[in-house]
Structure formats: structure tokens, C-alpha cells
A and B are shown apart, each in its own frame.
Chain A
Amino acid sequence: MDTRDPFRENVLAAGHRACAGCGEAMAARMVTDLIGSEAIYVAATGCLQVFTTHNAQSAWQVPWIHSVFANAAAVAAGIEAALRARGDNTPVVVQAGDGGTFDIGLQCLSGMIERGHDVLFVCYDNEGYMNTGVQRSGSTPHAVRTTTSPPGRLRAGKRHLKKDVLAIVGAHHLPYAATATVAFFSDLQDKVKKALSIRGPRFLQVLAPCPLGWDHAAERTVEVARLAVETGLFPLVELEYGTPTSVMHLARQRPVEDYLELQGRFRHLFASDRGREEIRHLQALADTHVAHYGLLDPDRPGATEASVAARRHAWGGYARPRREPSS
């Protein structure tokens, strides 16, 4: 057991095998410590499942199950139905990567939401199949270099656009769906708390940069995630029954180059005229998000600044002492 920290449960314990600077490990530690150990966690196949269960050493200090890639939502639905039959209100949480959400797990996710199961589905979105060696996924943004979308004579990286999974999920008119990211911790905290206070199917998409696949310095994980929001490429929004009910307003919109230039997966865009055209395309996509969600509202400026402002004696976000398991 990981009992080193009296102020934090460490649902996801130390000793896991994520790369240094892993955004997904960071995101999962945030989300699971906010939810706590009194929950049942279901994993889809993906980085998080692989690096936390290496060589029969589990980093999970909670009930945790992994079945196959596609069916995490279906497994969770079954667990939830069984708990309900027993009158047990223990929360059920699915943790999946973007592969297990956007692509391989989409059908089971859709079914789980459509049937109204009381499950929180968390997608850690690192925009590709990373632990198998960085292949493109439905979540990989346009023009990104992966091993299966290499830039070359015919293409400047991935040809297609990033799938708008939030809109797909929102089309199910579920009680709550939101996007969040590791860089805006207090925002993530609010969204997890809100999700836990609602019954029915809930969906959280957490952007989690991947130093390996995105090819940025390990120390810049949070900075990259912050820039994804500040450029407008990854808007932070909340949907209730499919309708946007709140957005994170930007203090100012940064140009997409600020975000792109930190990452090797976009480096080819700076090396050719074709690439520079794609940068303009990505800027147009960001501008579309800003306009669509009204991220630059002059009446409500600076939400991004307010959200990350460091507070004196805040002592971090998890003032929940570890509970010793009852014997």
C-alpha cells in the first residue's frame, strides 16, 4: 500500500511505469484522487491500463477491472446494474484513453449513455495510440505527425480532422458532459465534483499531453496543455443535456504557433510552405472554436487567468486524508 502521504489518498500509487512527465498519469492521479477510493474503477485498454499494471504489480489502491479494449463502458454498465440491484450506491467510473473512447470503445460508450447507466466515463485524451508506438487515432488533430500519418510529399501529417467526440456524446442528451485539462486544476476539480453530484451517464474528456507522442520536453506537459486552451484549440466547456452551459473564457487568445512550436509532432509545419498553410488551417479551426463557444466575451474576461492563479497557503487541491481500510 502507498501510505506515504497523509494528505492524499494516492488512488493511483507511485511506482507506475508511465514515462517521465506523463500527462495521462497526471490527469488520472488528479481525477481519481478527487473521486476517492470509495468507487469501482473500470479500465479500457490503453496507456493508463498498461503502465499501471506492469508485471503483476498494480498501482491501483481501489477495486479495478480491465476486460478488453472495446467494452469498458459495457463492463461498467453491468457493474452499475448489479450494484443497483443490491441497493448499493458506490460510484462506477470508467477510465479510457482516446482510442477506447473515440474509436474502439465508441459503440459501447454510446450504448451505456443511451441506456442511462449511472456511470462516470472519463476519457484521458492524448490524441493518439501512444503506448503501441504513436499511431494516429480519431482524436489526433489535423496535420499531426504520427507513425501512421507521416508528413511527406503527399501529406503534411494527418489528413483528417480531430473527431468532435463531445458533440457526439452531447447528441445523446446526457445529464453532463465536459472537457477539462491538467493545466486548469481548479476547473478540473469543479467538473469532477459536479459530475459526482449528478446521477445518470456523465462524460469527462481530459486533455492529457504525451511528451513521447507529442514530442515535447517532459517538463512542459502542463504548459502545453495550458496553451491548447489559450489558443482556442481545446475549449473548456460544459454541456448539460447537450446544451453548452458554461465555458472557460480566455483572457486573450494566443496564436496557435505558440502551441505548435513546443511540439515535435507539428515541427514539419514550420519547414515548408505547405506546412505554413496547415498552420493557417489550424488557426482557423481554433478561431472557429472561439467563435462557436464565445470564448472571448468582453463582459467576462480573464477566466483562464483567474482559474490558474496560485493562492497563498492553498496547499494543493486534495485535503482528503487517507482512510485506512477497515479490517
Chain B
Amino acid sequence: MTRLDFAPGSSIAYHTGDWRVQQPVYRDKWPPCSRACPCGEDIQAWLALANDHEWEAAWRKLTERNPLPAVLGRICFHPCEGACNRRALDTAVNVHALERELGDRALRNGWRHERLTARFTNRKVAVIGAGPAGLSFAFQMARHGVPVTLFEATDRPGGTLASGIPAYRLPRDVLEREIDAILDLGITLQTGVRIGTDRDVDCLRESFDAIFLAIGAQRPRRHPDGGAEGAGILTGLDFLHQVNTGSPPAVPSRVAVIGGGNTAMDAARCARRLGADVTVICAQGPHGSQPGHPDAEITALPEEVRQAEAEGIRIRYRLGVRRVVHGGGQPAGVEIARVDRLHDLEGRFHPRLFAGTEEFLPAGMVIFAIGQEVDWRGLDTLKTLSPPEVMVGGDAASGPRFAATAIGSGFQAASTLLARWVEGVTTHAERESREIPAQALNLAYYRPEPRQEPPASFASPNDFREIVPGLDAAAVEKEAVRCLSCGVCFHCGNCWNFCPDAAILRREDRFTVDTDYCKGCGICARECPCGHIDMESLLT
């Protein structure tokens, strides 16, 4: 039928779609929370399931990437919340509290991880180090039916999570039960075996098809002052290890903690709980003091610093230690001075102090928490080989980072291997990564709702009980609803309601565009709350 040849009848015969110069396309995006997540969790997806009260499905979606939600929900630095688009409306979604809630729900209800395949492959992998990276790798391999043997040098799994994180932040039983759930997938755990010392590296290469090295960064960095060793002088990791294994050292009335990272903060707060008066000496400035230069600010998380100060810990900034002052076989204190420059000419962290600004800080115990390095002893032959036979992950690969980074690296290593070994598994890199900034949302369709926070309680001396409670059931539901679902359709129906041309059609599970009639006005895309609809130009 030509344009001018009409028979009486319905306008449906006239296709207005040829007026169009642009057309709407429904397209899922990858929201900023997930882009920021070191584990690569699909946060929007599991929040959506939680929103629908599909708690177990939400937990399963979450644990596809992170098998330790109850742990990470407590200790993660949650960059997801720093990236959350909801900040443009009111405040970020409390992702970490909801992650923790799902993890705790799984522990309460005894949900178990499911194997994705019943069949075991004939390939075997060894994991060296049962910290977060090693556990994450082992979890992914075991789910896909690859037999895993996990070697751990200490007497229990968990790595820094077990030895470095105090119980008031991460109760022991939470960690143990989440690790048990991972091991339940059929992972063989051998504790007390230090590869390279107790067992030869090369025999591992004969018995396994691949080795994942996740030995962490466990060797504490030393202070250049030669006198910084001896009784009463500890590293942060050693001190935390003693506290966390139930044999804390006796602390004197005054303790000095040197360093500005999270280990320093943990050590200071443990010493405080053991009854000491604690001063932290931090080479960097406080949070917010050096805009644009995050390197020059204290690296411990703001909320850790806030809680430490609320517990009565003094933090002194832009000061460095020149030497430990001894008296009678014990430290008497430290000589501190003002920091001139933080980094040397090569850009390495190496504070230089101003001469003439020295002062004496009395302390009967000095705890150095000034960084950690990877301990490669006995493993040097593995270092030189290339993947896939040997892969390195976690802090051993990246230097000291976060538990979430370690879990993410375990996932990436596992998916690289699985993509070669198991049919139907793709590598982690193949995710579409179109951005969805806050400007792409239509915030008119969301109501401001206050962020749900648990009431924080601060510790009394010698109390190692958990200080931050979870959200109650009502708060959990209120918080889950706050997710904006950036870039992912949640079937509100705005496009369908608003289309002036009946060009959006509803189907059982989605909406579609009828290009026979769409005039390309762009209202659907503009009124889509979550930026799921793109307008694409048809002009060349």
C-alpha cells in the first residue's frame, strides 16, 4: 500500500515507525556498585532478590562471587557504597549490612553451597594458603567439580581473617562456620603444612595440574632503627595473632602503636581492650586534611578511626619514630619527630623527619604496624613459572590489600582456569561493562528514604564481643527497597504507561518496542527511572 492509497479501516494499517530518527533499546547495564566491588559481586541482582524476599536465592547469587558474605559484610571497606548512585538522591544503600544479613541468614538456616556439576574432572589443583584468596579459588574450583587440596601453614584456615582481624569486628564462629560451608564442597584441607619447608614444591607439581599460590603478605616490614627489636617490641601481625589465638601478651599501662593502616588500628584497639592507654603514631595526616592526595592521609578506614577515637585511643598525625628508647631490657618509649616528607625521590613510602622536632613518648610496649611483605622462602622456583600451571593471587600478587581484593583475585584465577577446562564457563572479563552514572537515572521516580544503620556501641575495656550489631528484620526490608536498580529493569511499567503511540508492548516477563509504530520521541527512555532504556540514533 502506498502512502496515498488508503482504504477505510483501522489506523493500525498505517505504520508511523518510519517517522523515527532514533529508537529505544532495552539494555541492562553494570551498576557502579558492582564495578567498584573487588569481588565483582552482582550487587544489584542480589539486592533485587532480597527486595523480593527471595533470601536464599539472594544468598546464592551473592556467593557466586563471594563465598564469605557474613565475614565481608562485617569487615569489607565497601567501595560499593562509595560508588552508589543513590548518593545523588540521599545516602548510599547500606550494602555491607545487607551482605552481612544474607551471610548470617545462611548460617542461621544452614543453607549449603551447591555443586554446579555432579561430575568431578580428572584434573586436580593445589592451593597454597587458606586465606580469603585461597578459599575463594578453592570454592570456585570445587563448585565446578575440580578436586582441590588446600595447604595451610598454620593450624587453622582463614589466613589474615583468622589471625589478623580482632573478634570484636569478626566473631570467630562466624568465620569458622562460613569456612566450613566452603570446605563442605569436598575440599581437602591440610593444615600445619608449610610448602617449601615441610613439603617440597616440586612434588606438588607432579601431583597437581595447577597450583594457586595465595600465601599472603605475612612478613612484617621492619623499622630501619636496629634497636627496634627485643622484648616489648612487637609487630602488629604478631600482636594480633597472639590476641586472636587466645594468648594475649600482658600489656603495660602505656602502649605506642606505630602506623596508620587498619592493622595499626586493630592492634591499638586490642591493646586498649587489654587495658592499656594507647597512642597511635601515624606518619600521614588525618582524613580530609590533604584533598587530592589520598597517599598523604591515614590509610585506616574512617569508621575505624572514628571508633578507635571513641574508645579513647589517641591518634597523633604526621609524626614518625626515630628510635626506640630502651631502659632495663624493656622499651621506655619512642623518640618521635615531625614528618618532613612521606616519600623518597623514587616515590616509595619512606618518611623523612625534621631535625630538632624530637620529643619523647613514654611507652612500655611498642607495636610496629608499618606494612607487610610477601614471604617467598622456599617458593622461589614457583615464582618463575607462568600460568596456568602456577597462578598467584591475593596479597601475594598485589601486596597488602583487602580481603575483598583477595577474594576477587581467587575468582579471577579460577575462572581463567575453568574457562580452559570446563565447557560453558567463560572468563570473568567477558562481562558487558556499560556505565550507568547517576545522571542517567530519573530520580523523580524515587522517594528519599533514610539509610538504615545498626546502633553502634563502643567497647568497655577487655570486651572483645562484637561491637556493631546487624540490622533487625524490619530495617533489612526497608534497606533492600532503597536499591535504585541502576541500569536494570524492575518492571515499573513507566515506558508502557507513557508511550503516546502504543509502541511499547507488555509481554509476560518484559516490555518490548514495536518498531512499526515507535515515532522515536524518547519519552520511554527519559521517564525510565533506572536508565535501562537507551535512545540510539538511526541517522548516519
**B-binding residues in A (CB < 8 A):** 1-2, 4-8, 10, 12-23, 25-26, 29-30, 52, 54-59, 61, 182, 185, 211, 217-223, 226, 302, 305-306, 308-318
Contacts and interface: CB of A to CB of B under 8 A. Distances in A.
Given A21-B522, A55-B6, A2 B502 contact: yes
Contacts of A58: 9-11
A15 B16 contact: yes
Given A21-B522, A219-B521, A310-B492, A1 B12 contact: yes
Contacts of A2: 10, 12, 502
A314 B498 CA distance: 14
B141 to A, nearest CB: 36
Given A57-B13, A58-B10, A310-B445, A16 B501 contact: yes
The list of the 4 closest CB pairs from A to B, nearest first, reads A316-B493, A219-B522, A15-B11, A21-B521
Contacts, number: 165
B78 interface: no
Given A15-B11, A16-B11, A317 B493 contact: yes
Contacts of A6: 506
Contacts of A223: 444, 526-527
A318 B504 CA distance: 13
B502 A313 contact: no
A222 B506 contact: no
22 contacts: A4-B505, A8-B496, A8-B502, A10-B502, A16-B16, A17-B16, A21-B519, A22-B500, A25-B500, A56-B8, A59-B11, A218-B522, A219-B526, A221-B521, A223-B526, A226-B444, A310-B529, A312-B492, A313-B52, A313-B490, A315-B493, A317-B497
Contacts of B9: 56-58
A52 B523 contact: no
Contacts of A16: 11, 16, 501
Nearest to A3: B12
Given A313-B491, A316-B497, A15 B10 contact: yes
Contacts of B6: 55-57
Contacts of B52: 312-313
Contacts of A7: 506
B494 to A, nearest CB: 6
B497 A312 contact: no
A14 B498 contact: no
B307 to A, nearest CB: 35
Contacts of B519: 19-21
- Chain A interface main SS type: loop
Contact of A57 (B10, B494, B500): B10
A26 B524 CA distance: 12
Given A15-B10, A22-B521, A315-B496, 12 more contacts: A1-B10, A2-B10, A5-B505, A14-B11, A14-B12, A16-B11, A21-B521, A54-B11, A61-B10, A211-B521, A310-B490, A313-B491
B401 interface: no
A10 B506 CA distance: 12
B176 to A, nearest CB: 36
Contacts of B502: 2, 4-5, 8, 10, 12-14, 29
B440 to A, nearest CB: 14
A312 B490 CA distance: 5
Nearest to A188: B497
A47 B6 CA distance: 21
Given A25-B500, A222-B527, A314-B492, A57 B11 contact: yes
A308 B12 CA distance: 31
A222 B526 contact: yes
A124 to B, nearest CB: 12
B521 A310 contact: no
A13 B48 CA distance: 34
Contacts of B16: 14-17
A82 B64 CA distance: 67
Nearest to B517: A14
Contact of A316 (B11, B19, B506): B506
Contacts of A25: 500-501
A326 to B, nearest CB: 19
Contact of B8 (A22, A57, A315): A57
B306 interface: no
A18 B529 CA distance: 25
A316 B51 CA distance: 19
B478 interface: no
B491 A218 contact: no
A208 B516 CA distance: 25
A318 B502 CA distance: 13
A2 to B, nearest CB: 5
A183 B19 CA distance: 25
Contact of A15 (B15, B493, B496): B15
A58 B505 CA distance: 20
A221 B445 CA distance: 15
A302 B446 CA distance: 12
B435 interface: no
A48 to B, nearest CB: 11
B487 to A, nearest CB: 14
